[in-house]
Structure 1
């Protein structure tokens, strides 16, 4: 028996069930480039005062020494998650010698991609491995792709929520609780992939880029040039999510299935063993220097580019897929979000409210399994929206489980989805004793019906109607956000907490380095066994 959206709405409106919705766990990972006040990429390494990038829990680096990543712990309050991120940024600004955080997803002016410094993690084997992995990314895809910034939003439902969901299932199809939770999260993943074109449409904020991003290469996309020299596409929403950004042609042939945990893990583990003729030409260890960790399609599992991932907290030395296979899905990681340039944290409280609605909706709607052809259709929708999401002539393919395809405009399909999501918003309002979720539906639906209200349209209006420079506009925001952040009091953490955390992380890194017993070659052999 397949339960309908209305069935779930009715069930969670009864008794105390709605209260389980108030147990949502959220975490934010925000990436941001360090830049100098004049707008150039900082050449300073990761500041020691921030702690060890290898072991610090809240402040680390991504691809480059200059690409910071801030990580909040699991929080059960949207407001608290934002406050935590603001505090992390406040401490960071106090330690980076007047540098700024670039407030856009697409990077600032970079005259030479070879000057983008790889992130360094010390002399331990695991630290060296992280840097070699990044060397591999540079050799495979180039540095510019790797200094694009984004927001990752981690989301989990409470155990009590899943108990209610399981109680609604027929007794004869009941299964072990952890297996049931994983199955339900994979249902969310599939529904998210079907509807995730909404995310770049609503929140894409990278319709334009600095011409230096192309590093002299001839663009494959039909860019236009703004009065100040920025490159843009008229109807684009998120160039970050296009072929210019986080995509890989080598990965396009992978058949990683989202129908169940077992097949997904098998697919990922196959990909990290699958040889690539293209990457093999790079070489692995040449003249005593590593160019990449291996010549496989994926060096490690993190190289799999996807708009959403199933996640399980890993134990020391454990690979992500093994953690999933052993303990199932604990949370999901939404990865399709551009940095929001209109708020200092890169993600707003209002966005979190909508993501709560959207993911809960994906948990309630029909559990549709799909084949590779269906998945390609959803990916095509995503690509169409990132490149021309505000084009009034755009039609998206809505494929049902019988394989029938209906072509719909963003406005038509979007309003259908918002009609249903409005019911979920009322539930969340009831659970959190607020009106913020129904307010979110009204605000985001307005973008569906008027594309000029989208962030991507606002950015283009600044560039074209106001004829502002993308760089100067971004620098103005960056300077404003730094000043406002430094003037704000700590809300969740304290200065003392961060000072102690930085020192403790340095001590932990030293301990890891001192306890290494294998040489690096043997360490890698052992790791990939």
Structure 2
């Protein structure tokens, strides 16, 4: 039987269970645009000296050739994850000839979206498939989506934690099945409370007018004296319909009540034809415009603020990996780039995410129906567009609550989790983090979105100058600082190995590209 949240708090305070809270694994994926010192997008291809975008384990590209992605391995100390990310960025900055890493989620000035280069991965079948997928994204949603940046935070508990949770529940299920079930319960709770993330960390309430590319849109933008478009109470335009959304996916009903239900929903969506996307064509005059005409070309196209994950083996689809071996970790995807730190995510944010995700794991959640999920998504939509509006009411079950009221209720439980994690780790970092974030609940002016609106609207400053000044300072400090976790020789060796690995993949192909795709989607 499921225990209560308070039962778990009491149990994990016991010395027999407490140490298992120290085995949290974390990995960060940080996206960053390469820009020139004057604030324009770089037109240079991915630099050879930072390795193959196809095979390098730490440095790749996302949708665009100019959108770098830095990936840290799993680490078990928040400080280690930040140090790894700083080292990866330091090495990259040394190789990109004076270019800067844009410190905002929404892009700098873009004159012609059609000139945004799609990421290139070489001549192998898998490399060509990655490029075709991005060609499909461009044809479906437009090029500007190719240069929006975010943070993905990967999170896992130790097996000892799950064994203890199972023992507290007197549960006798297969452990791997239990772990998957409880990760899905965590995801359901995250969906209920995920509006907190853009409220606390949303950093994209203002955009350059070039982002709209003169296309009509429905949002009631105001224009600052310096020419930027903004919504007065917005937190994260990146998470709105302007950014990582897909209206065609609104009809999908992905189930988060079980692993089998989730995988079945994703696989059904991949095979679901779209009249709109089919009109684009797949292979026209010998050139691929997209991988297929379905609502999802591949699973990666499913836009969600959180995903269950399992490291896939070579040639294995993500859902196949989940189905065969269960959930290994979860990926939080609702984080804007934090412009106030050089890594785009701060140490304090990691501490809070530890607390928040542990809370979501300890709070019982027996199931989530489609109607309730729609309500949760509505709360998220409201917060990204008007999260700092004092009149905003959110829906929690059959109750309407102000953000301040609901936030304070949640933080009472989060404080208990913070005390538990501090006790396990012999620290005070978690309680300090909760105190700082609770202050934002009660004073929206402390949020990063409010600080950016104040900068552009009340102070009349240029967002571009702020971003460039920050990027220049971050570049200088990172180049000046020494390596903390890696070293130069390690990176140089990994670059050489990545090019060798790409060459071997390209040499090993035996199928034509057409046959490769047929086999992949068979």
Report if TM-score (shorter chain) is over 0.5: yes
CA RMSD of aligned residues (A): 0.6
Matched with 1:356 is 354
Deviations 1:458-503 (A, max 9, x none): 0011111211111111111111100011001000000111111001
Query: Is 1:320 the counterpart of 2:311 in the alignment?
Result: no
Query: Is 1:481 the counterpart of 2:474 in the alignment?
Result: yes
Structure 1 residue 309: deviation in Å? 0.1
Structure 1 residue 233: deviation in Å? 0.1
In 1, distance between residues paired with 2:366 and 2:225?
47
Matched with 1:132 is 132
Instruction: Give runs of ≥4 in structure 1 deviating > 6 Å.
Output: none
In 2, distance between residues paired with 1:210 and 1:453?
23
Matched with 2:86 is 86
Matched with 1:519 is 512
In 1, distance between residues paired with 2:190 and 2:15?
29
In 1, distance between residues paired with 2:7 and 2:30?
36
Deviations 1:209-256 (A, max 9, x none): 000000011231000011110100000000000000000011010010
In 2, distance between residues paired with 1:4 and 1:143?
47
Matched with 2:486 is 493
- Equivalences for 1:86-105 in 2 at 5 Å? 86-105=86-105
Structure 1 residue 432: deviation in Å? 1.0
SS class of match (1:31): strand
SS class of match (1:507): helix
Matched with 2:210 is 212
In 1, distance between residues paired with 2:4 and 2:470?
45
Deviations 1:34-66 (A, max 9, x none): 000000000000000000000000000000000
Matched with 1:19 is 19
- Equivalences for 1:208-247 in 2 at 5 Å? 208-247=206-245
Q: Which runs of 5+ in 2 are unaligned?
A: none
Query: Is 1:155 the counterpart of 2:148 in the alignment?
Result: no
SS class of match (2:95): coil
Matched with 2:289 is 291
Structure 1 residue 146: deviation in Å? 2.2
Is residue 191–residue 368 contact of structure 1 (8 Å, CA) maintained in 2? no
In 2, distance between residues paired with 1:442 and 1:152?
24
Q: From 356, 362, 386, give the equivalent of 2:384.
A: 386
In 2, distance between residues paired with 1:474 and 1:228?
14
Query: Is 1:417 the counterpart of 2:410 in the alignment?
Result: yes
Deviations 1:274-307 (A, max 9, x none): 1000000000000000000000110000000000
Q: From 430, 435, 448, give the equivalent of 1:437.
A: 430
Query: Is 1:77 the counterpart of 2:77 in the alignment?
Result: yes
In 2, distance between residues paired with 1:493 and 1:158?
25
Deviations 1:92-130 (A, max 9, x none): 000000000100000000001001000000000000000
Q: Which runs of 5+ in 1 are unaligned?
A: 400-404
Matched with 2:329 is 331
Matched with 1:402 is none
Structure 1 residue 2: deviation in Å? 3.1
- Equivalences for 1:269-280 in 2 at 5 Å? 269-280=267-278
Q: How many residues align?
A: 522
Matched with 2:444 is 451
Give the alignment's TM-score, normalised by structure 2.
0.99
In 1, distance between residues paired with 2:6 and 2:389?
33
SS class of match (1:386): helix
In 2, distance between residues paired with 1:146 and 1:21?
38
Matched with 2:44 is 44
In 1, distance between residues paired with 2:496 and 2:250?
43
Structure 1 residue 368: deviation in Å? 3.5
Q: From 161, 186, 189, give the equivalent of 1:188.
A: 186
Matched with 1:35 is 35
SS class of match (1:76): coil
